Structure 1
Amino acid sequence: MATNRLDKIDRKILDILQRSAKITNAQLSKEIGLSPAPTLERVKKLEQTGLIKSYHALLDSDKVGLGVSTFVLVTLKGHNKDNIKTFLDKINKIDNVIECHHITGSGDFLLKVIAKDIGTYQQLMLEDVSDIDVVDNLSSMVVLSTYKDSKVMPVP
């Protein structure tokens, strides 16, 4: 389903669900002005077409004991399929790497890494990430404060 095929009601459903995925179908139907059955049908269609990929609980990293957040710029030894595959296979096994983006510019990948503390982060980098044989260089940026961390996408 292309975004240009979304009508005003679909867009409103997507906005509401991004802000509150636990909303009941009854409450959602009230907010969009449809009865519950067509509301549920629209949500199911948005899920089936892949516009809604999944539902998640957003955790407070500090409260679960993950007080250090960093971005790591990774440069590989070479830009070929094998190196990329090797890197991705290994990085996908490291739970503390919560985001991995293939990028352009001065590096090849940008990782978001969370850890309990600086010592745990250092150990993770030394024993897991820098140990990946195709990694050439790492550059870390420690997050001091976060002022915006929205998971809500504007739907055009």
Structure 2
Amino acid sequence: METLDKTDRRILEVLQQNARLNTKEIAHRIGLSVTPTYERLKKIEKMGVIKDYVTLLHADKIGKTLVAFCNVSLQLHSQLLLKKFEAAISQMEEVMECYHVAGTFDYLLKVVVDDMRSYQHFLTNKLAAIENIAQVHSSFVMTEIKHGTAFKLA
């Protein structure tokens, strides 16, 4: 497996700050010519290091004002029931992130909705409809202090 060198990491740092940059702009920022920058970028993409190119939105500017973290415990832990839960959660547009965790709870969900009424609808009509849920504990975000998307690569 190929590894990332210092220049590859610099390309990734620049892209994490602004994925809209074209190859010429990236090359200028890292001090390399366009062709080698393009070749390195294609190599990095082929390696699967870049997961996707996305646009990040301000949730509150599109009406998504309530963020909740839900700790979910399941009653039973068979492989089939875990997969069923994960498949159901993966289809829910309100769930932005889902992690299978170790500790007191089985899963941690990040849920983003318009308001408390929307959250109640999500909880009672979607989440509670999944079989095998033992309990759900919700924590609501009052203020977002830090929300990062870029990894430190140096």
- What TM-score do the two structures reach when normalised by structure 1? 0.95
Task: Determine whether 1:85 maps to 2:88.
Answer: no
Residues 77-125 of structure 1 deviation map (CA, whole Å, 9 limit, x = unaligned): 1121011011011111110101000100000110000001001101100
Task: Determine whether 1:47 maps to 2:9.
Answer: no
Aligned pairs for 1:58-97 (under 5 A) are: 58-97=56-95
Aligned pairs for 1:4-153 (under 5 A) are: 5-153=3-151
Residues 42-94 of structure 1 deviation map (CA, whole Å, 9 limit, x = unaligned): 11111111100110000110011110001000001112101101101111111
Q: Count the aligned residue pairs.
A: 154
Paired residue type of 2:12? L
CA distance in 2, matches of 1:109, 1:66: 22
- Shift in Å, 1:32: 1.1
Paired residue type of 1:15? E
CA distance in 1, matches of 2:24, 2:99: 38
CA distance in 2, matches of 1:112, 1:146: 13
CA contact (8 A) 1:86 1:134 kept: no
CA distance in 1, matches of 2:153, 2:30: 16
Q: Secondary structure at the match of 1:22?
A: coil
Paired residue type of 1:37? T
- What TM-score do the two structures reach when normalised by structure 2? 0.96
CA distance in 1, matches of 2:13, 2:49: 12
Give RMSD over aligned pairs.
1.0
Q: Secondary structure at the match of 1:95?
A: coil
- Shift in Å, 1:154: 1.3
CA distance in 2, matches of 1:30, 1:85: 46
